[in-house]
Chain A
Amino acid sequence: MSVTYVDAILQAQEKLLRDDPRVFLYGQDISKFGGAFKATKGLADEFPGRVLDSPISEDAMIGMAVGAAIEGMRPIVEMQFADFSSIAFNQIVNQAATHFYRTGVPVPITVRLPSGGTPGSGPFHSQSMEAIYSHYPGLVVVTPATVSDAYSMLLDAVALDDPVVYCEHKFLYRWLKAPRINGDGLPIGKARITRPGKHATVVAYSAMVHEAVRAADRLKEEGGWEIEVVDLRTVKPLDIDTVLASVARTGRLLALGEAFPWGGVTAEVVARVCADGFHLLDAPPRRLNSRDTPVPYHPKLWAAHRPTPESICIALRELLSF
């Protein structure tokens, strides 16, 4: 038996519904149907009245969750795809994110965003929205990359009194498996050294952690390079201490992300390392992101749009040869 990434999300929600009467789930097709990705499969039967189908109204879904949270509930909203959260943008960044600062009343909502590209999904079912939401004060944005993090970070997200944008990567849903859920107890806001090394640091998050590890394995075989991979886990707040400690060990930084290249998480990482740890760097830091186009539909184009182990290796070789 093994547990997939999406199983972990399902199990976390089951545990939350079982343990906490304040928790309920709201989203499109999540009730009897079990959700577009089956992340809520069976929960409507197990918890009647607490797993509710919503109309196709992303704005109202988040507004509803904010209202319920004001009244003491802990709603989890499933956006069918992260891309559609653009319709809910106003309620997320203006209603939910400002609420505690303005009124002193926190709104503990968790917004699940099925994020990132999969082959054949195209421009409107593939987006990575973490940078957009991280930009706004008042939101916590998490990007679990492992089965155990998918589980524990969802529990932690719901426990947090603030609105959490939980970016779950669709590519990992069924591809990523673990023998069992076995968390290391790292809280939201702490990064993890996924793979220790000494010649260069790759800072990644979500599905790109796995691509970084593949690239690191190749460079190890190829030239004995020891690449350290840091999994941010949470992009807001950013655990810059762990990143700086890694750069202090390696002297070289590649910030890696699947999102569009302008601004974003990788730019933030590079900016902070330059500002706070310029003296630690032995080479100019590098960024690697997707290409600056919408996410293409055809699998061949898609595979070349996002960073791959090949493109990561190229970036790392350049970094190492400086």
Chain B
Amino acid sequence: MPDAEEAQRTRVGLDRDYVRDVFRAMLKARLLENKLSSLYKAGKIVGGVYLGKGQEAVSASLGASLVKGRDIFAPLIRDQAGRTAFGEPLIDCTRTYLGSVLGPMKGRDGNIHRGRPQEGMPAMISHLGAAVSVVGGMLMARRMKGEIAGTVGATCVGDGATSTGAFHEGVNMIAVEQLPMVIVVSNNQFAYSTPTERQFACEDLLDRARGYGLGGHAVDGTDVLACAEVVGKAVRMARDGAGPQMVVANLLRLSGHGEHDDASYVPGELRGSHLGRDCLENGIAQLIADGFSTAKEIEDWKAAFTDEVQAAVAQAQQEPTPDPWHEDWRACSSEPATGEDSP
């Protein structure tokens, strides 16, 4: 497509396949999450549903910039797009949400608390900021084993997580160790219902990057091409030895904290502002305008991904749920002398 080639040159260094990967992951994640939302409302989900609507651009840009099998990615609750771009199969998601025993957490943990740590994707705990030091430790291990070259570790947080002690300790530690790590802060204006003015008093969260000694990058989280460019650059810098990087993406969460939350606390004028733009809708326009794709191709992707989502949901729904009588109820992997320690 000559038009696309032409348009691509308007953005220096933005690889066509990479941008298309970012967008495809965003689209697939949105379709999956729309389905999860419907399933939640129909009472088919075990536990809560937490969506990344409005945050897909920055999340997918991170996931698509990382290489599964070499890099480390610790997603948080709004990173379905990043997970998909990184290479997490959809079935891991649907199994975990729908309570299939065949999922990576076997019903022992649910929804977004899933991962495959041995494949470079730690499973998040609910305590915010706690993954920063864990990814740091994974990178420390790689360094001690002489396997760090070319590796990047990354994690995502929201504006709320930047207020935790764990975040501060972790970011400071990775800076002291000069680890090849990228922290993506999605400033989505609300931590659950708490607005940013009750969360922090610095002018811009990006100032924190400088305070910690990290490279800092601001990006408009509603702009897919900008996210692809800025996040891609931050990952490249970390990979090339420029030390840890922080990306702050400004955007608005376009859903509630979870699907139980109607987000009525978000003022209408904010929803109608630039921050409230839907990065996916915006991305469709951008991809078409800049020749990365066509309306027809995007429709085709949409149809294919809808089928893929449907298949992943149907498969998980047909699978067995955990059986308490076959659960081994063991929290330790080894058996210190006396064996099972149940009173």
Residues of A that sit less than 8 Å from B by CB: 24, 49-50, 54-55, 57-73, 75, 87, 90-91, 94-95, 97-106, 137-138, 140, 160-162, 187-190, 234, 236-241, 268, 271-272, 275
Contact = CB atoms under 8 A, between A and B. Distances in A.
A63 B133 contact: yes
A215 to B, nearest CB: 27
B201 interface: no
23 contacts: A57-B172, A57-B173, A59-B130, A59-B170, A60-B172, A63-B133, A63-B134, A65-B137, A67-B122, A68-B141, A70-B122, A70-B138, A73-B144, A94-B130, A101-B330, A103-B117, A103-B123, A105-B117, A161-B333, A161-B334, A189-B337, A237-B341, A239-B338
Nearest to B142: A71
Contacts of A187: 336-337
Contacts of A65: 137
A109 to B, nearest CB: 9
B2 interface: no
A67 B169 contact: no
Which 3 residue pairs of A and B lie closest in terms of their CB atoms, listed nearest first? A67-B137, A63-B133, A189-B337
A64 B338 contact: no
Given A63-B169, A137-B332, 11 more contacts: A59-B169, A68-B144, A69-B141, A70-B117, A71-B137, A73-B144, A99-B117, A102-B109, A162-B333, A237-B340, A241-B338
Contacts of B135: 67
Contacts of A95: 125, 127, 130, 134
A235 to B, nearest CB: 10
Nearest to A66: B134
Contact of B337 (A55, A69, A87, A188): A188
B337 A64 contact: no
A102 B136 contact: no
Contacts of A94: 125-127, 130
B260 interface: no
Contacts of A58: 169
Interface of B: 104-106, 108-109, 113, 115-118, 122-123, 125-127, 130-142, 144-145, 165-166, 169-170, 172-173, 176, 330-341, 343
Contact of B136 (A60, A140, A268): A60
A91 B332 contact: no
Contact of A271 (B117, B126, B333, B343): B343
Contacts of B130: 59, 63, 90-91, 94-95
B141 A59 contact: no
A71 B123 CA distance: 14
Contact of A24 (B139, B144, B166, B170): B144
Max chain A CB contacts within 10 Å: which of B105, B135, B141? B141
Contacts of A61: 133, 173
A63 B126 CA distance: 14
Contact of B140 (A68, A236, A237, A268): A68
A275 B343 contact: yes
Contacts of B339: 189, 237
Nearest to A242: B338
Contacts of B336: 140, 160, 187-189, 234, 237
Contacts of A272: 343
Contacts of B331: 97-98, 100-101, 137-138
Contacts of A237: 336-341
Given A57-B172, A67-B139, A90 B166 contact: yes
A7 B136 CA distance: 31
Nearest to A63: B133
Contacts of A71: 137-138, 141-142, 145
A55 B172 contact: yes
Nearest to A57: B169
Given A137-B331, A190-B337, A60 B122 contact: no
B162 to A, nearest CB: 15
B140 A67 contact: yes
A305 B276 CA distance: 61
Given A57-B173, A65-B137, A94-B127, A103 B115 contact: yes
A161 B334 CA distance: 6
A238 B105 contact: no
B333 A100 contact: yes
Max chain B CB contacts within 10 Å: which of A60, A69, A236, A239? A60
Nearest to B113: A102
A24 B127 CA distance: 26
A253 to B, nearest CB: 16
Given A70-B122, A140-B332, A190-B338, A60 B108 contact: no
Nearest to A276: B343
Contacts of B104: 103
Max chain B CB contacts within 10 Å: which of A57, A103, A268? A103
Nearest to A97: B331
Contacts of B136: 60, 63-64, 67
A186 to B, nearest CB: 8
Contacts of A72: 141, 145
Contact of B137 (A64, A140, A236): A64
Contacts of A268: 343
B118 A105 contact: yes
A91 B165 CA distance: 12
B179 to A, nearest CB: 10
Contacts of B332: 100, 106, 137-138, 140, 162
A68 B144 CA distance: 9
Contacts of A239: 337-338
Contacts of A138: 331-332
A188 B132 CA distance: 32
A157 B341 CA distance: 17
Contacts of A161: 333-334
A94 B134 CA distance: 12
Given A60-B170, A63-B166, A234-B336, A101 B108 contact: yes
